[in-house]
Structure 1
Amino acid sequence: MPSASAQSRPSTARAVPVTAAIIALAAGGFGIGTTEFAIMGLLQNVAEGLQVSIPQSGQLISAYALGVVVGAPVLAALGARLPHKYLALGLMALFTVGNLSSVFAPGFSSMLVTRFISGLPHGAYFGVAAVIAASLVAPVKRARAVAAVMLGLAVANVIGVPLVTWLGQQYGWRLMFVAVGIIGAITLVLIQRFVPFSPAHAEASMRRELRALKRIQVWLALLIGVVGFGGFFAVYSYISPTMTDVAGLPEAALPIVVGLYGLGMVAGNIIGGRLADRSVMGSIYIVMTAIIGVLVLFWAVADVAVLAVAVVFLVGVAGSSLIPGLQTRLMDASPDAQTLAASLNHSALNMANALGAFLGGAVISAGWGYRAPALVGAGLAVLGLGVALVSGLLDRRSHAPAVPGKEAEVSNRKKTMKA
């Protein structure tokens, strides 16, 4: 009879299909990351094209983020009875159509609407993709599988965002939406070809998914994402004018800057997945502390070009390291409603996006300069760390951690062997 460890590992025969499925899901993350972050590097171009101010053009970032906030719970709940593969296909189709509609938006108001529509499937897609990926690997590798899907988002900031930023500067910023539409279409083909089909859970329903909203640990995890990650977006939303006006870099250097940030995201995503597989809450404590330190450092060195560029890389590392831990925390805090819980992570992160862009724009408009958002961000990260500590304290007081991590699995194996 095979051992428990042997049963928990995918067979070699399944290794290639699992890898192909995760790459297919990550391709969607690549498209989502490109459309979400490229507009930040093109913010000045968009403002000129739509004849609005830079802080006003930042509202397009907020509109997309608010679409994620609304769409993640609504679409995840509505799609509860669908097989996960079909839900992923439907969400990516909506994402593709939404981005292509932005190509033809004639003015600022219509662009706000198309950006909102484009954001609707974002969170639900990552939620169902995370659940699919986690189901394909051994339990002790869940966070790494989730991180592998999120790697598409990180790689977008290395390849997709710099490329689209350059194309937008050279040939018009609307080309960004054409490129993202093509990526979305390719993703649909890959998901159809490589992601395995599995029927929906027999008890799946909207009511079952909405049970996640009754759990305090779910809400605390969401709050960590909103305020903690909001600090990251307060800085990155205005990275383009900060690097040109404060650090003194030429506009032509911006693709390099966002590329370095993307490399930081790749590194952080890998680091965050490994940390979360060891200790989910421990990874959150460590990463939140790192975000605080990095944002304060960015404020201190933003006017020194070489140092500012180096710290942008660290901002990418710190911010991306938080995502696998939060994703896994939410899935474990609501095991009977994982799709909605995982989707809500991206609602939280994009509420953070909206909050960060808003507060960053507010301090800039108040005349405090482009360095001020870094201090606002550090303050938000401090609040996020505080919420994480409260969540951990509640776990310890309950004497039954809400997150069944590696320790819980080992304990269950011991009980099985004794029996």
Structure 2
Amino acid sequence: MIGIMIVFVSENLLAAFAPTFVLLLIGRILAALAHGIFMSVLTIIAADVVIPTRRASAIAIMFTGLTVATVTGVPLGTFIGQQTSWKMSFIFIAVIGLVGLIASIFLIPRQLPVPGKVNLRGFGRITTSKPLVVSFLITALGYGETFAAYTYLSPILNNFGFSASAVVVILIIYGVMGGY
């Protein structure tokens, strides 16, 4: 988790200070990959820190946090970018990531069960299972669509004449509605 959070923070800082669009894009892609890995690993940790009968609740609470972060974070990041510059939005995300890194250091128990060896041939079997491939694609495209929509929603709304403050409110409403 610590390594994942270090990558997340550093890649958001790369995006904030990237001198070229290519480096900005690389920073965003690597931060997104770190976020995806973070959610996968955190699901396992959430299940391991509670008694077996509470595992589903722990994972649900964790994903509720993701929804709340999306509903509040995207409009807040948009607001920060509108009031300062788009680079400050990435710096804000990096600071939040730093808080997550510190929390991971102090709050994740050190004595969690370690999974057994991973058989890399299992990944090949996953790619031959049509239902698994379809479910992975639906998930990846669904999350990709959501983040792409958030990326382009602000400029589209601005082009339609909505003020900067109205865009923030619309993003909050969009996030709340998307969370249900």
TM-score by length of 1: 0.38
TM-superposed CA distance for 1:199, in Å, is 4.5
Give the 3-state SS of the residue equivalent to 1:103 in structure 2. Answer: helix
Alignment of 1:229-308 (within 5 A): 232=146, 235-246=149-160, 248-262=161-175, 264=176
Q: Is the 8 A contact 2:74 2:171 kept in 1?
A: yes
Match of 2:179 in 1: 317
Measure, in 2, the Cα distance between the counterparts of 1:250 and 1:242. 11
Q: Using a 3 Å threshold, how does the CA distance of structure 1 residues 187 and 317 change in structure 2: closer, same or farther?
A: closer
Does residue 127 of structure 1 match 2:40? yes
Alignment of 1:142-157 (within 5 A): 142-157=55-70
Match of 2:125 in 1: 214
RMSD, matched Cα = 2.6
Give the 3-state SS of the residue equivalent to 1:121 in structure 2. Answer: helix
Aligned length: 176
Match of 2:81 in 1: 168
Measure, in 1, the Cα distance between the counterparts of 2:145 and 2:22. 27
Q: Is the 8 A contact 1:89 1:188 kept in 2?
A: yes
Q: Is the 8 A contact 1:99 1:114 kept in 2?
A: yes
Match of 2:90 in 1: 177
Q: Is the 8 A contact 2:67 2:179 kept in 1?
A: no
Q: Is the 8 A contact 1:213 1:219 kept in 2?
A: no
Q: Deviations over 1:97-124 (max 9, x none)?
A: 1111222211322212222232231211
Give the 3-state SS of the residue equivalent to 1:174 in structure 2. Answer: helix
Q: Deviations over 1:346-393 (max 9, x none)?
A: xxxxxxxxxxxxxxxxxxxxxxxxxxxxxxxxxxxxxxxxxxxxxxxx
Q: Which amino acid aligns with 1:105?
A: A
Give the 3-state SS of the residue equivalent to 1:249 in structure 2. Answer: coil
Q: Is the 8 A contact 2:77 2:89 kept in 1?
A: yes
Measure, in 1, the Cα distance between the counterparts of 2:142 and 2:16. 33
Highest Rg: 1 or 2? 1
Unaligned 5+ residue runs, structure 2?
A: none
Q: Which amino acid aligns with 2:79?
A: W
Match of 2:137 in 1: 223
Unaligned 5+ residue runs, structure 1?
A: 1-87, 265-312, 319-419
Q: Deviations over 1:131-177 (max 9, x none)?
A: 11122335554443223222332222333222221121111110112
Q: Is the 8 A contact 1:157 1:258 kept in 2?
A: no
